[in-house]
């Protein structure tokens, strides 16, 4: 009678996949923004000068071993202009290179990784702003 040997690496991958599925949020509530989170805009609204976005999570702290990710998406802007973005937490900077009206969406997320290679994301803040740059 021939016995089959299972490769330990395959078993480890299957165990990690099962764990990753088990840790997925079951409801949308697990992905909602932090209740009292806000974003403050400061700086001179003039082309060529940086504008600072400062995030306040109302006392919420990102757990040790996890990190933040900032996504800034421009929904509308003057033609042929692409602002420079220096993402960061608790502050990000945007430098607008031409005058005009800019509308952008900002998403601040908390990222965690498991030892099995899975990634989980939680939205901490999401907001849309329109700025008129001189």
> What pTM was estimated for this model as a whole?
0.70
For residue 37, count other CB atoms closer than 10 A to its CB: 18
Model confidence at 30, pLDDT cuts 50, 70, 90, reads very low
Q: How far apart are CA 17 and CA 114, in angstroms?
A: 11
Q: Exposed, middle or buried by CB within 10 Å (0-12, 13-18, 19+), for 107? A: middle
**CA 93 to each of CA 48, 49, 81, 131, 134: distance values in angstroms, whole numbers, following the listed order:** 12, 10, 16, 14, 17
For residue range 67-114, list pLDDT tens digits in order: 899 999 999 998 878 899 999 999 999 999 999 999 999 999 988 887
pLDDT reading at 65 higher than 90: no
């Amino acid at each position: 009678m021939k016995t089959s040997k299972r490769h330990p690496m395959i078993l480890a991958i299957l165990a990690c996949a099962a764990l990753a599925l088990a840790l997925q949020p079951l409801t949308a509530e697990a992905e909602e923004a932090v209740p009292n989170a806000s974003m403050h805009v400061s700086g001179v609204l003039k082309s060529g000068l940086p504008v600072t976005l400062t995030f306040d999570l109302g006392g919420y702290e990102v757990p040790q071993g996890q990190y933040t990710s900032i996504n800034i998406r421009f929904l509308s802007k003057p033609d042929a202009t692409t602002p420079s973005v220096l993402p960061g937490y608790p502050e990000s900077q945007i430098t607008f290179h031409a005058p005009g009206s800019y509308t952008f969406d900002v998403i601040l997320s908390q990222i965690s990784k498991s030892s099995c290679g899975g990634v989980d994301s939680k939205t901490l803040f999401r907001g849309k702003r329109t700025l008129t740059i001189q």
